[in-house]
């Protein structure tokens, strides 16, 4: 036996072995060593994969019977066996994810055995974007785990809905409030919200207006001593895992008054807002095209919040994106100006290439929003459209890789 092992591994030869048999054993020896090396490498790989859990694969999913439970099956590497689930319940308002990934050393299949990885996420670990049902106006709440952003506050008569939603989420501090432009259907509810919540800072364009709503907005900022930043394309910041880039308006606009101070009491009443193109008189710019437009990126998921930006602002964003390296690509597009035909040009839609579009619009509004031309462009592009007048409040959950959409969720 000892001599056989010596011959097998090539450590020595017996004098009686012929030259031909010696060559034979050298070949056997090399083949054996190669096989042994392969087994050693595979053993190490199997041990590593088993102890760490298999990589994630994707399966099918579906909706629960109450419309608020969503179950998605997950497999192990390349979609082999394994299991997981997304769960959202109405009472606890939590969003969970659990999964197990196994590798079996014996069969080489990812189907349970040597290693296990278990993961659990709650809403605090996800980025949530909620498009509130606030009539013919805009209000969007973004919670990143690192803070809360409120984009616009609709009309003053809908402030109670925004306040109720924030309170239901346990939010008592708004890190950033973005007043996209001075129209009443975007800033009307801010005064009441500033009375109800502490606010870290306000972003707004460097333009003003002459309406009573705008004066109340400015008075409330002064009364609560909230810092204000005049924002424009090029500003960027991070909040938790989300990166925000301002892509419009262009530079500092030349409005009637750029200072944060309380203007006089005389002036126009609220005739602005949610209707047609808001072209101003004199040297005051088009307020819609002065809208603050923000792109948010959460790992692989993108959102673009366009306020009331019209064709001219969209053209600038296309230019800015091309020459300043700021992407407009987004999985979710907040359709500009409530779906008006003055927004969402074909070139802009092609650049954003969304999978989902949300239109914040009031039921049977007098402006006919959203216009058929916009709906047709979205349909041809294969975009799934959600409207607050049809679907109620629309929320998206993002874990950075996947999006879960929930409608009619207060």
Q: Which domain holds residue 145?
A: 126-407
Do 146 and 283 lie in one domain? The reply is: yes
145 and 195 assigned to the same domain: yes
- Assess whether 362 and 395 both reside in one domain: yes
Whether residue 61 has pLDDT greater than 90: no
Mean pLDDT of 204-229: 97
Residues 148, 34 share a domain: no
74 lies in the same domain as 186: no
Domain count across the chain: 3
pLDDT value of position 286: 87
- Which CATH number covers residue 177? 3.60.15.10
The pLDDT tens digits for 247-287 are 999 985 433 233 323 233 333 434 445 554 444 433 446 89
Q: How confident is the model at residue 407, as a pLDDT?
A: 77
Give the residue, 49 or 74, on which the prediction is more confident.
Answer: 49
Above pLDDT 70, what percent of the chain?
61
Q: Are residues 152 and 214 in the same domain?
A: yes
If asked whether residues 17 and 71 sit together in one domain, one would say: no
Q: Last residue of some domain: 67, 97, 121?
A: 121
Q: Could you tell me if 239 and 112 lie in one domain? A: no
Domain boundary among 76, 103, 121: 121
Q: Based on the domain organization, do 150 and 247 belong to the same domain?
A: yes
The tokens 């809360």 sit on which residue? 148
Round to whole Å and give the CA distance between 238 and 127.
13
Averaged pLDDT for residues 374-395: 96
Retrieve residue 325's tokens. Answer: 């390296």
Tell me: do 137 and 284 sit in the same domain. yes
d(CA 335, CA 343) in angstroms, rounded, equals 8
Mean of the per-residue pLDDT values of the chain: 75
Mean pLDDT for 217-232 is 98
Q: Residue 43 pLDDT more than 90?
A: no
Q: Give the domain-ending residue among 121, 143, 166.
A: 121
Same domain for 321 and 358, yes or no, is: yes
**Single pTM value for the model:** 0.68
pLDDT at 204 over 70: yes
- Is the predicted pLDDT of residue 96 greater than 90, yes or no? no
Task: Kindly state whether residues 198 and 264 are assigned to the same domain.
Answer: yes
């Amino acid at each position: 036996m000892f001599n056989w092992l010596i011959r097998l591994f090539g450590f020595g030869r017996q004098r009686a072995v012929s030259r031909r048999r010696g060559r034979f054993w050298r070949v056997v020896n090399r083949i054996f060593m190669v096989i042994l090396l392969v087994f050693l490498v595979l053993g190490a790989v199997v041990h590593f994969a088993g102890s760490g859990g298999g990589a994630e694969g994707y399966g099918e999913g579906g909706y629960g019977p109450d419309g608020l439970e969503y179950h998605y099956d997950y497999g192990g590497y390349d979609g082999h066996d394994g299991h997981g689930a997304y769960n959202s319940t109405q009472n606890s308002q939590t969003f969970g994810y659990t999964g197990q990934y196994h590798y079996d050393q014996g069969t080489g299949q990812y189907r349970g055995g040597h290693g296990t990885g278990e993961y659990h996420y709650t809403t605090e670990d996800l980025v949530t974007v909620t498009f509130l049902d606030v009539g013919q106006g805009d209000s969007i709440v973004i919670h990143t785990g690192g803070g809360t952003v409120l984009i616009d506050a609709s009309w003053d008569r809908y402030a109670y809905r925004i306040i109720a939603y924030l309170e239901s989420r346990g939010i008592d501090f708004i890190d950033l409030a973005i007043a996209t432009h001075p129209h009443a259907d975007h800033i009307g509810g801010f005064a009441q919200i500033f009375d109800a919540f502490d606010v870290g800072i306000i972003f707004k364009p460097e333009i003003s207006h002459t309406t009573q709503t705008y004066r109340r907005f400015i008075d409330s900022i002064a009364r609560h001593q909230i810092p204000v930043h005049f924002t424009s394309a090029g500003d960027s910041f991070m909040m938790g895992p989300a990166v925000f880039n301002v892509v419009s308006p262009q530079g500092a606009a030349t409005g009637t008054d750029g200072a944060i101070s309380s203007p006089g009491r005389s002036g126009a009443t609220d005739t602005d807002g949610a209707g047609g193109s808001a072209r101003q008189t004199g040297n005051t710019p088009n307020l819609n095209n002065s809208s603050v437009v923000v792109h948010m990126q959460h790992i692989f998921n993108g959102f673009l919040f366009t306020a009331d930006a019209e064709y001219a602002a969209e053209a600038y964003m296309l230019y800015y994106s091309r020459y300043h390296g700021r992407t407009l690509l987004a999985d979710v597009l907040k359709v500009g100006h409530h779906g008006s035909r003055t927004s969402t040009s074909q070139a802009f839609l092609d650049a954003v290439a969304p999978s989902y579009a949300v239109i914040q619009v009031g039921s049977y509004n007098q402006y006919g929003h959203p216009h058929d031309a916009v709906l047709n462009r979205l349909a041809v592009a294969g975009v799934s459209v959600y409207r607050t007048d049809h679907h109620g409040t629309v929320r998206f959950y993002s874990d950075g890789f996947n999006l879960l959409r929930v409608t009619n969720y207060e």
